[in-house]
Chain A
Amino acid sequence: MTQFQDLTRLSKQLRLDVLQMIKHAGSGHLAGSLGMADVFAYFYHQVLNHRPQEPQWSDRDYFLLSAGHICPVWYATLARFNYFDPQLLSTLRQLNSPLQGHPKRNPDLGIENTSGPLGQGISMAAGLAYGLQQAGKKNQVFVVSSDGEQQEGQVWEAYLFVTHYHLKNLTIIIDCNGIQASGRVSQVMSIADLKDKLLAFNFAVGVVDGHDFANIDEVWQSLVSVEHPKVLLCQTTPAKGISFMENDHYWHSKIPDNQQYQQALTELEGS
């Protein structure tokens, strides 16, 4: 689809950045970062009302990351949208780098919130959305969570709050990649029928193939005008784009050796 050629090129770049950053840092979370590259590319490119040259523009849409461990893909996205020089990406996880192993709030770089300890970002996004809605402002608030993060109790406290106050300026993007640190989500602690649970909370819920831009776009366009708090469930493949890593929770936070790295690089470059 020519319509999404730019996005395809962008997400390929994000995946290469993620792989290189994490290999260089020697630690980090590959699978989730690679899996969400297309969704990050789509929202920053197609949806967000933002000004990278004026990062704290008061009319901007807010984009927060709750599942902080996938920050490499966030940093890569911000760099490729010129929030900062992409050369900074090589400082990931280094002393005094603004690109900490888990995000540390730095709105000048587009890093809107601190996260990593799971379960807290949705509450922060809810506070932002409440304040903006009450002030009659048009800004939208987006927050990225994950299926594993749904096991945190605070997430459900936040859902009660969001729907009680009908925060229709808030969209929760959930990465459903089916894995977490110690195995498959369904086996570690099932969050079965997540869509039904969210519908019961009175969210407007969309489900997308998180690697199909046409599908993401179609579902988002149908959801965007709904006057409800929104959830977008993104079915993604962990470690998407690297055949020997895909769908294996082993790669949640493991680092490829040099040979594996070369193979991964070759696969991503050829994609």
Chain B
Amino acid sequence: MMQSMRDSFATALLSLAQEHPDLYVLSADLSSSLKLEELKQAFPQQYLEVGVSEQNMIGVAAGLAMLGKTVIVTSFASFNPGRNWEQIRTSVCEQNLNVKIVGSHAGLSTGPDGGTHQALEDLALMTVLPNMKVFVPCDHQETTTLTQELVLQSGPAYLRLSRADTKLIDQHQSHYHFGQARVIKKPQDITMIACGLMVDLALQAAEELKQELDLEVGVINYHTLKPFDSATLIEAAKNTLVFVTLEEHQKIGGLGGLVAGVLSENDPKNIEMVAVNDLFGQSGSQSELFQHYQLTVDHIKDKAIAGLQKRINVSKKK
């Protein structure tokens, strides 16, 4: 059954608001898009509308956090953290305050709204900041888990949400540990490293490669990009010839780069990156856009096989 990440986020937030009277939720005129209407009704004292002013929203959140509040600031990822990055850097991260950035409608699944509204740079913007933690759920259930983590962890954090409805990708709840990437299929010659909606595509590609070519493929869900779980990656590298990284984000500055950085310092491997390649999005349906920007199961399979081929050719030369 398909469910909305934003519904999971809002439901989780509702019970968190009840448990934590010091939890504040700020909205920049997008409360219905973030499904916050019920929270607004139930806990008006903990809900604060700031209007269309994402920069001021960060400062107000910082001020509330100085009083010991935990503050969730919400908008579309294009504006939050897109518009207010320097405010997040100075007012939140430099002061190491308990402010949580929630960017919804991230990535191409935002669809018809077009390129301006499809944040493909937010992970780069957030992972680069000291003190920041970065969470990228792959489905509605992981959204619930990571929304709870967002509030539980002290200090600045970013939660990336997609507009798309998701099916249940992984019964991960009982296995979840903070900062620990989730090995869904154990590492093989080819191991896929994915985050967000791309975890689903990684699993589909792995399944098809098994059926079509009898290739066993590993899949690891990196739901947390920061702190980055280097240990799981280095362990996986022991059994892996080729890594394929998958993200609904620019290739520059995203998950692929993080994986490449850790591996090149520890255990260099061939890496194939599936990502948006230095382009802006545009209007279209989610499936049209994923096709157009080559975030497809077929493309992932091609990349995996091409990577393996390159690796074999290199071995032959040696």
Q: How far is the CA of A131 from the CA of B65 in the complex (A)?
A: 9
Quick one: closest B residue to A165, CB to CB? B48
Q: Do the beta carbons of B63 and A124 come within 8 Å of each other?
A: yes
Q: Do the beta carbons of B63 and A134 come within 8 Å of each other?
A: no
- What residues of chain A lie closer than 8 Å to B67, measured between beta carbons? 128, 131-132
Q: How far is the CA of A131 from the CA of B48 in the complex (A)?
A: 11
Q: Do the beta carbons of A120 and B63 come within 8 Å of each other?
A: no
The number of inter-chain residue pairs (CB within 8 angstroms) is 90
Instruction: Produce 1/0 per residue, B276-314, CB < 8 A to A.
Output: 000000000000000000000000000000000000000
Q: Do the beta carbons of B87 and A116 come within 8 Å of each other?
A: no
Q: A114-B91, A120-B90 are in contact. Are A157 and B55 (CB under 8 A)?
A: yes
* Residue total for A at the interface (Cβ-Cβ under 8 A): 31
Q: A104-B94, A114-B95, A117-B90 are in contact. Are A161 and B53 (CB under 8 A)?
A: yes
Q: Let me know if B59 is at the binding interface, CB within 8 A.
A: yes
- What residues of chain B lie closer than 8 Å to A124, measured between beta carbons? 59-60, 62-63, 66, 91
Quick one: which of A116, A134, A158 contacts B56, CB cutoff 8 A? A158
Quick one: which of A115, A117, A126, A134 contacts B60, CB cutoff 8 A? A126
Q: A120-B59, A123-B58, A123-B91 are in contact. Are A128 and B66 (CB under 8 A)?
A: yes
Quick one: which of B55, B61, B94 contacts A153, CB cutoff 8 A? B55
- What residues of chain B lie closer than 8 Å to A122, measured between beta carbons? 59
Q: A123-B55, A154-B55, A157-B53 are in contact. Are A130 and B95 (CB under 8 A)?
A: no
Quick one: closest B residue to A121, CB to CB? B59
Q: Shortest Cβ distance from A10 into chain B, in angstroms?
A: 27
Q: Let me know if A129 is at the binding interface, CB within 8 A.
A: yes
Q: Let me know if B30 is at the binding interface, CB within 8 A.
A: no
Q: Do the beta carbons of A134 and B45 come within 8 Å of each other?
A: yes
Q: Shortest Cβ distance from B38 into chain A, in angstroms?
A: 21
Q: A120-B87, A134-B45, A154-B87 are in contact. Are A126 and B95 (CB under 8 A)?
A: no
Q: Let me know if B64 is at the binding interface, CB within 8 A.
A: yes
Q: A113-B95, A114-B90, A120-B90 are in contact. Are A130 and B60 (CB under 8 A)?
A: yes
Q: Do the beta carbons of B94 and A105 come within 8 Å of each other?
A: yes
Q: Let me know if A36 is at the binding interface, CB within 8 A.
A: no
Q: Do the beta carbons of B61 and A127 come within 8 Å of each other?
A: yes
In chain A, residues 165-207, which have Cβ atoms closer than 8 Å to a Cβ of chain B?
A: none
Q: How far is the CA of A210 from the CA of B266 in the complex (A)?
A: 61
Q: Do the beta carbons of A160 and B51 come within 8 Å of each other?
A: yes
Q: Shortest Cβ distance from A101 into chain B, in angstroms?
A: 13
Instruction: Produce 1/0 per residue, A195-227, CB < 8 A to B.
Output: 000000000000000000000000000000000
Q: Let me know if A112 is at the binding interface, CB within 8 A.
A: yes
Q: A104-B94, A120-B91 are in contact. Are A127 and B55 (CB under 8 A)?
A: no
Quick one: which of B64, B90, B95 contacts A116, CB cutoff 8 A? B90
Q: Let me know if A125 is at the binding interface, CB within 8 A.
A: yes
Q: A105-B94, A120-B90, A132-B67 are in contact. Are A127 and B53 (CB under 8 A)?
A: no
Q: How far is the CA of A115 from the CA of B89 in the complex (A)?
A: 11
Quick one: closest B residue to A113, CB to CB? B95
Q: Do the beta carbons of A157 and B64 come within 8 Å of each other?
A: no
- What residues of chain A lie closer than 8 Å to B53, measured between beta carbons? 154, 157, 160-161
Quick one: closest B residue to A66, CB to CB? B59
Q: Do the beta carbons of A130 and B56 come within 8 Å of each other?
A: no
Q: Do the beta carbons of B90 and A154 come within 8 Å of each other?
A: no
Q: Let me know if B86 is at the binding interface, CB within 8 A.
A: yes
- What residues of chain A lie closer than 8 Å to B60, measured between beta carbons? 123-124, 126-127, 130, 158, 161
Q: Shortest Cβ distance from A64 into chain B, in angstroms?
A: 9
Q: Let me know if B50 is at the binding interface, CB within 8 A.
A: yes
Q: Do the beta carbons of A126 and B86 come within 8 Å of each other?
A: no
Q: Do the beta carbons of A114 and B94 come within 8 Å of each other?
A: yes
Q: Let me know if B105 is at the binding interface, CB within 8 A.
A: no
- What residues of chain A lie closer than 8 Å to B63, measured between beta carbons? 123-131
Quick one: which of A104, A116, A154, A160 contacts B59, CB cutoff 8 A? A154
- What residues of chain A lie closer than 8 Å to B50, measured between beta carbons? 161
- What residues of chain B lie closer than 8 Å to A112, measured between beta carbons? 66
- What residues of chain B lie closer than 8 Å to A116, measured between beta carbons? 90
Q: Shortest Cβ distance from B61 into chain A, in angstroms?
A: 6
Q: Which of B48, B53, B86, B91 has the most CB of A within 10 A?
A: B91
Q: How far is the CA of A119 from the CA of B62 in the complex (A)?
A: 14
Q: Shortest Cβ distance from A111 into chain B, in angstroms?
A: 11
Instruction: Produce 1/0 per residue, B35-72, CB < 8 A to A.
Output: 00000000001001011010110111111111101000
Quick one: closest B residue to A68, CB to CB? B90
Quick one: closest A residue to B89, CB to CB? A117
- What residues of chain A lie closer than 8 Å to B66, measured between beta carbons? 62, 112-113, 124, 127-128
Quick one: closest A residue to B94, CB to CB? A114
The interface of chain B, by Cβ under 8 A from chain A, is 45, 48, 50-51, 53, 55-56, 58-67, 69, 86-87, 90-91, 94-95
Some 6 contacts from A to B, beta carbons below 8 A apart, are: A120-B59, A120-B87, A123-B62, A131-B67, A158-B60, A161-B60
